[in-house]
Amino acid sequence: MSSSEPQVPKPQPEQQQEEEDESSKPQSKKAAKKEAAKLEKLKRRQEAAVASGVQSLSMEDPLADNYGDVPLLDLQSKVAPGTRVWTEIGKLAEPLKDQYVLVRGRAQRIRAKGKTAFVVLRERGFTVQCVLTEQDGVVSRPMLKYAAGLSRESIVDVEGVVSVPGITINSTTQQVEIQVRKILCVNKAMPTLPINVEDAARSDVEIEKALQNGEQLVRVNQDTRLNYRVLDIRTPANQGIFRIQCQIGNVFRQFLLSEGFVEIHTPKLIAGSSEGGASVFKLDYKGKPACLAQSPQLHKQMAICGDFGRVFEIGAVFRAEDSFTHRHLCEFTGLDVEMEIKEHYFEVMDVVDRLFVAMFDSLNNNFAKELEAVRRQYPFEPLKYLRQTLRLTFEEGIQMLKDAGVEVDPLGDLNTEAERKLGQLVLEKYDTEFYILHRYPLAVRPFYTMPCYDNPTYSNSFDVFIRGEEIISGAQRVHVPDFLAERAQALGIDVQSISTYVDSFRYGAPPHGGFGVGLERVVMLFCGLNNIRKTSLFPRDPLRIAP
């Protein structure tokens, strides 16, 4: 044991032999109680010795208060807010040179070299290098050792002076350093993490390049990422993805509010299917059958019947589909819109047009840093879109596919391959990756879709595509109750289970239409990602319900 470690009393040989002899005999309750008391007394002596040793160690290093683990007591909201001035790592820059700052971040990288230690701190995607240099009265050798022994991803508070090195710092986002005067650990991460954040942040391009040079880098596969999602979402790309997702939801809400829409919140527990088909999560609701809502469709239409005029919702949507594709989830975030129409369902498409052009403009103009963070790990080309969104009829789309030698059912839905091929053809002909395809065959649309006036084989409906994949389904709705019930029954839906929905149209309903958008799918396609699980914070698919 080194001289710096506290001396802990040990049992004397005679005492130890006595204890061993006693332990070989059956113990009475009295003897067991006596033994427990003896062990408790020994434990207290050991704890006192450790405490004494820590105190003596502190006395040995006059700088001991400038480093170490923050006691729990000091973390229990002991200090009132505003007592200390904090600086965000992202705001550390050259104008702060020679100023004393206090920052908090994660210890992303730790490196010691001779009488110097380097700790790179990360906060919300920004990083700064903190330097500890052994110096009398400033940084002691034990302080240096403490910093070098921190585990990666621990939460650390650093106080120090901002300095500006004479060279470009390529390893951090901030072009300044902090000359450390205090370093305290708020919360320690375990010494060995399930995945390394730096490994999870590597691009496939970087890994392949290393392989070509004879170096093997760790590749973190998707299942491992999702198993330890809390670590995975700390990467710069994921920080960018979910900030982009936040902005899409924000633009969606603000744009619609500016257009006179009202935000509503519909129930997710409903008595029957909202979309038709068998892909619902069924459950028991106080002894009655119920299911999770496949969309807010029925209730947002009922809100229109309640005279709100224009409504929208951002909320969870549940689909019990056994889809193992790159773009399907069992739970996703739906962006839903419903509105009265005066003359034509094109009025709904007009809203889609303006909304998404505003959304794309906002991301490109205001989120360049986040987009670049995503692009570094998952390279993609900026989305091509027109100032006025292209509109094609379903029949025109079918004809383009036929002209390209693709055989498709003229009255069936487009499969994934046909959608992608049509997206490619549209890009080549119209130079856009965002377009609307409308007037779909009625047979492939939900029961509440209004047929076309001139040909009931088709419907007043539309889909919207990004990079050859569908992100939106929309339509004019059937607002005539008897016709609505007839359509539902024809598609095998128990009309009784949606009777309150059908009845709402018996009280007088205006013509209306709307659409639904999958938030995760929009982010995936705008950022050119290959799997929707990358844009779901904690994905739910047929095989995953944790974490």
What is the SS3 assignment for 244? helix
Q: Active-site residue 321, yes or no?
A: yes
Q: Active-site residue 234, yes or no?
A: no
* Catalytic residue (choose from 106, 202, 521, 533): 521
Cα-to-chain-centroid distance, residue 26: 59
For the chain, how are helix, strand and coil distributed in percent, rounded to 5?
Answer: 40, 25, 40
* Catalytic residue (choose from 35, 134, 259, 321): 321
Find the DSSP H helices in 378-480: 394-403, 416-430
Q: Active-site residue 328, yes or no?
A: yes
Q: Report the alpha-carbon distance of residue 102 to residue 172 in Å, rounded.
A: 18
Q: Report the alpha-carbon distance of residue 283 to residue 207 in Å, rounded.
A: 46
* Catalytic residue (choose from 122, 319, 445, 479): 319
Q: Report the alpha-carbon distance of residue 417 to residue 456 in Å, rounded.
A: 27
Q: Which two tokens stand for residue 66?
A: 């400038």
* Catalytic residue (choose from 470, 479, 504, 512): 470
Q: Report the alpha-carbon distance of residue 239 to residue 227 in Å, rounded.
A: 18
* Catalytic residue (choose from 225, 327, 438, 467): 327
Q: Report the alpha-carbon distance of residue 199 to residue 360 in Å, rounded.
A: 31
Angle (CA) 202-206-210 rounded to 5° is 120
* Catalytic residue (choose from 328, 375, 420, 544): 328
Q: Is the dihedral of CA 486, 492, 495, 501 positive or negative?
A: negative
Q: Active-site residue 521, yes or no?
A: yes
* Catalytic residue (choose from 473, 487, 504, 520): 473
Could you tell me the CA-to-CA distances from 297 to 25, 109, 184, 269 in Å, in that order? 75, 49, 53, 13
Residue 472 CB partners (closer than 8 Å, separation 6+): 352, 462, 463, 464, 515, 516, 517
Q: Report the alpha-carbon distance of residue 98 to residue 86 in Å, rounded.
A: 16
Tokens 């053809």, located at residue: 425
Catalytic residue set: 319, 321, 327-328, 470, 473, 521
